Structure 1
């Protein structure tokens, strides 16, 4: 929707026409006073009542008033008022990075973390605007570019359906792979406006295990800083609960989410952090991200409402004049 806020005008010099509208108003008022004086000069008032048409009182001013209002509205339309408009992005690149470490088979999120994540990720892919290029990276002990950025949604959704679990959590490698994939794709589609805006959407449920330290060159914190330097903010989604468990070698092992690390990754990259403990919450997070990524707010022409109102007012003025005076003003 257009905002009717008159924050700016493309052609403000058309406001000079309002001086002409003001002159017409002044002329009309002068003509009415002159007409009244001429009536008072007519000495035979009895005869005047017989030959002069019945006066309609204030109603006779309705048509001229509407005509002047329509002129004002049309003048505003001609000045090219601008308003904020929410429009789909024509160019943007998103890398969806999904953790497929063994902890994703925990059933604290029904039916299990991986299945819930797959369902929400496919809905995210469907909801993105057509102008956004979407790619997919999965990571466990290492990261793999499963689908390079593409405007087609079917390959991404098919790949999401075929995600498989693996040992380890190389969060830093996944971020590095995403940055490299976006950079390579950006070189192919860079236009006069430069590289399209890009975003990394990182969804993980556990703590990085490869390498051991988040601060190491291949660690998530170091790679998050590199992502920021590359102009690729990370939307980090911490998915799961504190009480998730999986069975390893016949024993139950707790696999809680690592919110603190994900928050820090988002902060270091200049991005944002989100927490989801259920599939429905994850879907809401993805929906919000889709709105942020797929649309942008631009100042655009907002003259149409003024043109419509001005034209309708002009039509009403003509109709009123025909009904009351049997003529168009």
Structure 2
């Protein structure tokens, strides 16, 4: 929390003195009553003591003054507010290594299910597009607010050889740029969410892609998907396909995005949930002076109401 006018907190000093004085006076009053009255007689004369009700109005009144003193200092807190618009490009690796079964039922099937849920759960006003990549890239769905149609394209993803991670980023950036045309005066945030399990083997390098994404101010969040023990069978041969976590993390960090790892379908779903939360919301400062002022008013009102109800007088 930040304070725009912190000097107004000095108002709390006399308030603290007032609270201290109240406590001292209450202790003196109790000692005086015990000293000059026989306890059995006191119980008969005043069998019912107000107890906590005697102090409730004063406590509410002091809290009201505290709230008003804090309001004078104009506190500001960070709050999460939803983005009204954004462009999200989902890029999915469809190379042969995604057929590995170290993730049940296989990497591709689990990735498809998790990506579909992620797309459908994005805010309705977000434009979302889908890019697939192996040795080359394909735009299966241009950015649109029709999330169901984009998710439907995940049902049939053709597999191919090689992995062009860098090209996938460049293709995704082209889709972001196409959405920005005609909206030069509107600042719409964009994010690329790239899932892969391998090393770049085709096209431009991830370093070149990271430079381009940084210049375009588009963060790339990467998901390294699968385990180090994954294998696929190609032409009768069993080929190991371990996940290249390091290169994907370097790509994400170089663009200001987040790097994730997932070794199961459940973990992947959690990663997509986390990415969706970070994309759908932003943090902005908000002054809470009106709320504290209203709280102070209500507490003061409560103090007056309790005093009139129980003691027929204002505090």
TM-score between the two structures when normalised by the length of structure 2: 0.77
Are 2:138 and 1:144 aligned? Answer: yes
How far off its partner does 1:119 sit? 1.2
Q: How does 1:15-26 map to 2 (within 5 A)?
A: none
Contact 1:92 1:131 in 2 (8 A): yes
Write the distance in 2 (CA, Å) between the matches of 1:137 and 1:281: 22
CA change 1:252–1:66 in 2 (3 A) is closer
Write the distance in 2 (CA, Å) between the matches of 1:190 and 1:267: 27
Are 2:79 and 1:93 aligned? Answer: no
Contact 1:138 1:145 in 2 (8 A): yes
Write the distance in 1 (CA, Å) between the matches of 2:305 and 2:107: 67
- What residue in structure 2 maps to residue 203 of structure 1? 195
Task: Please state whether the residue corresponding to 2:298 is helix, strand or coil.
Answer: helix
CA change 1:323–1:172 in 2 (3 A) is closer
Write the distance in 2 (CA, Å) between the matches of 1:85 and 1:182: 28
- What residue in structure 2 maps to residue 254 of structure 1? 240
Write the distance in 2 (CA, Å) between the matches of 1:300 and 1:308: 16
Contact 2:262 2:271 in 1 (8 A): yes
Out of 111, 118, 132, the residue aligned to residue 112 of structure 2 is 118
Out of 257, 260, 268, the residue aligned to residue 271 of structure 1 is 257
Write the distance in 2 (CA, Å) between the matches of 1:277 and 1:68: 55
1:124-163 deviations in Å (ceiling 9; x for gaps): 2233334432211011121111122223321221112232
- What residue in structure 2 maps to residue 311 of structure 1? 297
Are 2:116 and 1:84 aligned? Answer: no
Write the distance in 2 (CA, Å) between the matches of 1:65 and 1:189: 56
Q: How does 1:135-214 map to 2 (within 5 A)?
A: 135-191=129-185, 194-211=186-203
- Output the aligned Cα RMSD: 3.4
Contact 1:137 1:178 in 2 (8 A): yes
Structure ID, larger Rg: 1
Are 2:287 and 1:301 aligned? Answer: yes
Write the distance in 1 (CA, Å) between the matches of 2:128 and 2:247: 25
Task: Please state whether the residue corresponding to 2:181 is helix, strand or coil.
Answer: helix
- What residue in structure 1 maps to residue 3 of structure 2? 8
CA change 1:165–1:70 in 2 (3 A) is same
Write the distance in 2 (CA, Å) between the matches of 1:79 and 1:144: 56
Write the distance in 2 (CA, Å) between the matches of 1:313 and 1:81: 19
CA change 1:304–1:163 in 2 (3 A) is farther
Gap regions ≥5 residues in structure 1: 30-55, 212-217
- What residue in structure 2 maps to residue 240 of structure 1? 226
CA change 1:104–1:60 in 2 (3 A) is closer
Contact 1:141 1:170 in 2 (8 A): yes
Contact 1:205 1:257 in 2 (8 A): yes
Write the distance in 1 (CA, Å) between the matches of 2:292 and 2:210: 48
Contact 1:235 1:271 in 2 (8 A): yes
1:168-205 deviations in Å (ceiling 9; x for gaps): 222222111011111111224343xx432222111111
Contact 2:120 2:148 in 1 (8 A): no
Contact 1:106 1:245 in 2 (8 A): yes
How far off its partner does 1:271 sit? 2.7
Are 2:215 and 1:229 aligned? Answer: yes
